[in-house]
Amino acid sequence: MAVLSHDEIIKLLDSKTLQIAPLNENQIGPGSVDLRLGYIFRVFKKINKVVTVDDNTNYKDLTEEITTKKGENFLIQPGELVHAVTIEKVSLPSNISARIDGRSRFARLGLLTHVSSGFMQPGTSGKIVLEMANLSPIALAIKPNTKICQIVFEELKGSAKYSGKFKDQSRP
């Protein structure tokens, strides 16, 4: 597998083989594309019980969705984990996979923009759901529309198709 360069990403976007929308050209870097933080978040409910974690555990039973207004920041408290979604929808062809990575400028503040599950299967289409955590001792106000993470594309040998549970996810 090889990481795609700026020029290869542009070629795939121009041919509509790879789709990212909406997308500004200034989001495309030398080997990745910056994705922006959306306005929809999912936070944990304040509950006082032990939750068994297994294949049947549904995170939606433990969380609630919050939508911020344009111009409004979202506050993440120290130690808090929230789900968020990107503005962009990404559609991968069957021979391209992707990885979501945080940006160091935010990691230096203690903000992890993607805790786990950073691999995007070939053939996946949807907005990217982020698992964001504040590891700092201070509250962080994050601003929707900020370039919050980056996506790196890799070409597979052969092709594959993903048809899993989160294939066309658009909300956190």
Give residue limits of the domains in the chain: 2-155
Is the CATH number 2.70.40.10 carried by domain 2-155?
Answer: yes
Q: What is the pLDDT of residues 7-53, one digit of tens each?
A: 999 999 999 999 999 999 999 999 999 999 999 999 999 988 898 89
Question: What is the rounded distance in angstroms from the CA atom of residue 106 to the CA atom of residue 127?
Answer: 21
The SS3 assignment for 44 reads strand
Provide the Cα torsion 53, 55, 60, 61; round to 10°.
-60
Please give the model's pTM, rounded to 2 decimal places.
0.87
pLDDT of residue 140: 98
Is 131 marked active-site?
yes
Which of the residue ranges 28-32, 39-43, 100-104, 154-158 would you say has the lowest mean pLDDT?
Answer: 154-158
Say which residue the tokens 């529309």 belong to. Answer: 145
Question: What is the rounded distance in angstroms from the CA atom of residue 4 to the CA atom of residue 120?
Answer: 15
Q: Is the pLDDT of residue 117 over 90?
A: no
Which helix (H) or strand (E) element contains residue 104? helix 104-107
Active-site residue among 25, 64, 88, 131? 131
pLDDT of residue 42: 96
